[in-house]
């Protein structure tokens, strides 16, 4: 027995200090040794835990935070699923879900019946093999492969196999008590149906209104999301389903409400990756009893059989389904690496089986060792083959010859800067590209005060930019003409896109938006988005794009369309495209040329008047209107493309809209301009 044991109750500060050092140092050391940091945290938990060297007790707060980390991991997995791609991959998901459940479940049941275990015990043990935990998913996130087809298939299969495996666990546990009757099935099915109604109908509506009313108060929105995740997990337990299923379903429920590049999702992911999930991995490692390694041949035999069955059956499921679905070898290995690791449902099944007396300690020990081995194999496989897929994705992007995106956001009002910056972050196609907040000082009188105010505005903007996990390059320009200051900043910094706000105020001298914005449009060459955004960006459920005939400018139009579809993809919003009847063939051709996962609903109109009537009658506050405009050199407000902003601002002031203008140059000329500016 170790004499030096740190208890969370007696030494909370030292205990947390040591755990944070482990979370910091161990992954760094393992990554230097070309091993996944996840493996290091699992082994570290085994070594320092009560069943290893016994330095730290796995009790009290550590036990609670470890379980919360498990729920957090499943919640993030639900959040990361691309639901639009998931719908497209329904066939793949169902096929793989059937393979990855039936092969381990059937083979495990037969093998343990052959080894002399009862039928209920064999079914329960096999359910451990059928389920899996996405322990290696943080590696997928780091490599930017969350939208890869094989990853979407693996995650979709996880929904099916984990849910069914945990239902099998509930049924087996109830059968031991002799309560497996008609009333049980009616209760389980009825309560689970009500639970799904709450998760996917009531919760999204309540959450949407909460986010809309709270706006940019990030602390409250984060606490709300995590609190609801834990409550949903508890509700799942109440109706007889494991909490991890509730956490996963909560992630799916919140998925459409959190934009990919928004500050709230960044906060959720940051706290999970930095604290909760590493604590869960250490906690899992603490469950491993090193003494079982020297306890005899029988234990080694059970451990070996369990580990071999789960690895082989999951490999067969991954490669069998991949062969059926046409995936290549690297994709099959990714699916195997993601779905081989055991943790969450396996631990649940093992502990439940022990509590009801269906399995013995040898199965519990075998399950824990199986968790350790598979949690080492899974991340290693995902790390190796994930890099190969990531390299292929990078080559594909290079083949498309994309210009490095650089977005300029001119700011005048600190209160509206957060919406403009979040809009800009969701336009980004390049994760590494910075955002350039700009403040223009338009007077030489009291220049010091003006400069001090500009720096304060930019400091606030930098905070918003860092909150969306982007780099910030703040700029200050001094120019008597604000529009000229914006143009100079855009030219001197090789800017590709300009995102600028409009207050929606209409006055007689205006041509479209006002003297400054009109001058910006006439003097700049960059792709420009003039935004009047009323509510939080993440609250938009649909983007309505209005295209008129004059907005066609060849490849520049395609670039603009690609940018707006990227915005829709990140906001997880539906897209409706409104166009003139005579342009239908060109619209369909352009949509074919644009690469996007977003599903687009087409609607044609016959005139400007009909377009305005549709916009006024059908748009609501949850829609974002995007108007495609031409850059012909004319900014006369009575042009057809410029009537709608004035009409909307006057008659529907609560509607958010964006006027989008393409690049003013041909692609070749624009590319040379960017290159020489650098």
- Express each pLDDT in 87-118 by its tens digit: 777 788 889 999 999 999 999 999 999 998 98
Q: Residue 576: beta bridge partners?
A: 544, 601
Q: Domain extents for the chain?
A: 68-398, 532-664
Is the model more confident about 55 or about 659? 659
Nearest residue to 390 via CA among 41, 150, 594: 150
Q: 228 pLDDT exceeds 90?
A: yes
Q: Decide if 228 contacts 52 (C-beta within 8 A).
A: no
Nearest residue to 665 via CA among 544, 531, 528, 564: 528
Mean of all residue pLDDT scores within the chain: 80
DSSP for 293-342, written as a single string: GGS-HHHHHHHHHHHHHHHHHHHHHHHHHHHHHT--HHHHHHHHHHHH--
Alpha carbon of 196 to those of 63, 166, 226, 231, 613: distances in Å? 29, 16, 19, 14, 38
Q: 315 pLDDT exceeds 70?
A: yes
Highest mean pLDDT among 264-268, 290-294, 670-674: 264-268
pTM of the model: 0.72
Mean pLDDT of 143-154: 80
Q: 499 pLDDT exceeds 90?
A: yes
Mean pLDDT of 497-501: 92
Return the pLDDT at 632. Answer: 58
Q: 333 pLDDT exceeds 60?
A: yes
Decide which of 2.40.50.460, 3.40.50.620, 3.40.50.920, 2.30.40.10 is the CATH code for 532-664: 3.40.50.620
Return the pLDDT at 638. Answer: 45
Q: What is the 3-state secondary structure (H, E, C) of 562-575?
A: HHHHHHHHHHCCEE
Helices (H) and strands (E) in the chain, counts: 27, 10
Report percent pLDDT > 90 for the chain: 14
Return the pLDDT at 303. Answer: 84
Q: Please give the span between the terminal C-alpha atoms of the chain, in angstroms, as a whole number.
A: 65
Mean pLDDT of 457-469: 80
Burial classification of residue 133, based on how many CB atoms lie within 10 Å of its CB (0-12 exposed, 13-18 middle, 19 or more buried) = buried
Mean pLDDT of 493-499: 91
Return the pLDDT at 528. Answer: 92
Q: 71 pLDDT exceeds 50?
A: yes
Return the pLDDT at 203. Answer: 92
Mean pLDDT of 23-30: 88
CA distance linking residue 100 with residue 98, whole number of Å? 6
Q: 641 pLDDT exceeds 90?
A: no
Return the pLDDT at 8. Answer: 56
- Of how many residues is the chain composed? 678
Q: Which CATH code fits 68-398?
A: 1.20.1530.20
Rg of the chain in Å (alpha carbons): 28
């Amino acid at each position: 027995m170790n004499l030096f044991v740190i208890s969370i109750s007696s030494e909370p500060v030292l205990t947390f200090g040591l755990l944070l050092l482990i979370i910091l140092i161990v992954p760094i050391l393992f990554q230097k040794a070309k091993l996944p940091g996840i493996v290091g945290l699992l082994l570290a938990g085994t070594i320092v835990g009560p069943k290893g060297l016994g330095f730290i007790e796995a009790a009290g707060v550590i036990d609670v935070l470890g379980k919360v980390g498990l729920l957090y991991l499943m919640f993030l997995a639900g959040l990361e699923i691309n639901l639009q791609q998931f719908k497209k991959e329904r066939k793949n998901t169902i096929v793989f879900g059937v393979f990855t459940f039936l092969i381990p479940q059937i083979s495990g049941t037969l093998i343990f019946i052959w080894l002399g275990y009862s039928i209920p015990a064999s079914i329960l043990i096999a359910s451990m093999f059928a389920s899996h935990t996405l322990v290696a998913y943080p590696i997928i996130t780091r490599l930017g492969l969350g939208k890869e087809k094989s990853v979407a298939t693996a995650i979709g299969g996880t929904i099916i196999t984990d849910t069914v495996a945990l239902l099998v666990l509930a049924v087996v546990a109830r059968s031991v008590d002799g309560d497996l009757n008609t009333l049980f099935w009616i209760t389980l099915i009825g309560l689970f149906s009500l639970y799904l109604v709450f998760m996917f109908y009531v919760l999204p509506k309540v959450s949407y209104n909460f986010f809309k009313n709270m706006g940019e108060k990030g602390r409250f929105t984060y606490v709300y999301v995590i609190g609801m995740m834990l409550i949903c997990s508890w509700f799942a337990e109440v109706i007889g389903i494991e909490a991890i299923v509730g956490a996963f379903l909560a992630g799916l429920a919140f998925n459409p409400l959190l934009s990919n590049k928004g500050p709230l999702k960044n906060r959720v992911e940051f706290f999970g990756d930095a604290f909760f999930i590493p604590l869960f991995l250490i906690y899992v490692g603490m469950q491993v009893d090193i003494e079982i390694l020297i306890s005899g041949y029988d234990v080694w035999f059970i451990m070996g059989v369990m580990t071999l069955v789960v690895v082989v059956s999951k490999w067969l499921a991954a490669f069998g389904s991949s062969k059926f679905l046409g995936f290549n070898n690297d994709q099959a290995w990714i699916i195997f690496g993601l779905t081989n690791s055991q943790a969450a449902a396996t631990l649940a099944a093992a502990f439940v089986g022990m509590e009801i007396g269906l399995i013995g300690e040898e199965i519990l020990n075998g399950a824990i060792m199986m968790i350790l081995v598979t949690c080492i194999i899974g991340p290693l496989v995902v790390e190796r083959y994930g890099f190969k897929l990531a390299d292929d994705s990078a080559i594909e992007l290079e083949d498309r010859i994309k210009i490095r995106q650089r977005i300029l956001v001119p700011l005048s009002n600190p209160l509206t800067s957060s919406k403009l910056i979040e809009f800009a972050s969701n336009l980004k196609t390049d994760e590494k590209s910075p955002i350039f907040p700009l403040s223009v000082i338009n007077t030489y009188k009291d220049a010091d005060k003006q400069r001090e105010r500009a720096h304060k505005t930019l400091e606030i903007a930098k905070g918003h930019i860092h909150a969306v996990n982007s780099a910030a390059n703040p700029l200050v320009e001094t120019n008597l003409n604000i529009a000229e200051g914006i143009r100079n900043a855009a030219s001197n910094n090789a800017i590709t896109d300009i995102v600028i706000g409009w207050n929606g105020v209409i006055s007689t001298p205006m041509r479209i938006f006002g003297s400054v914005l009109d001058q910006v449009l006439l003097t700049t060459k960059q792709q420009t988005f003039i935004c009047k955004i009323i509510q939080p960006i993440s609250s938009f459920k649909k983007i309505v794009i209005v295209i008129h005939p004059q907005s066609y400018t060849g490849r520049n139009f395609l670039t603009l369309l690609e940018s707006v579809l990227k915005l829709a993809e990140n906001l997880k919003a539906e897209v409706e495209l409104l166009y003139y009847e005579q342009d239908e063939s060109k619209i369909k051709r352009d949509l074919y040329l644009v690469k996007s996962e977003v599903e687009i609903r087409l609607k044609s109109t016959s005139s400007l008047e009909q377009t305005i009537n549709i916009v006024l009658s059908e748009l609501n506050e949850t829609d974002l209107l995007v108007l495609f405009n031409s850059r012909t050199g004319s900014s006369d407000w009575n042009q057809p493309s410029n009537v709608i902003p004035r009409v909307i601002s006057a008659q529907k002031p609560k509607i958010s809209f964006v006027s989008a203008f393409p690049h003013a140059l041909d692609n070749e000329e624009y590319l040379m301009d960017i290159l020489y500016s650098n």
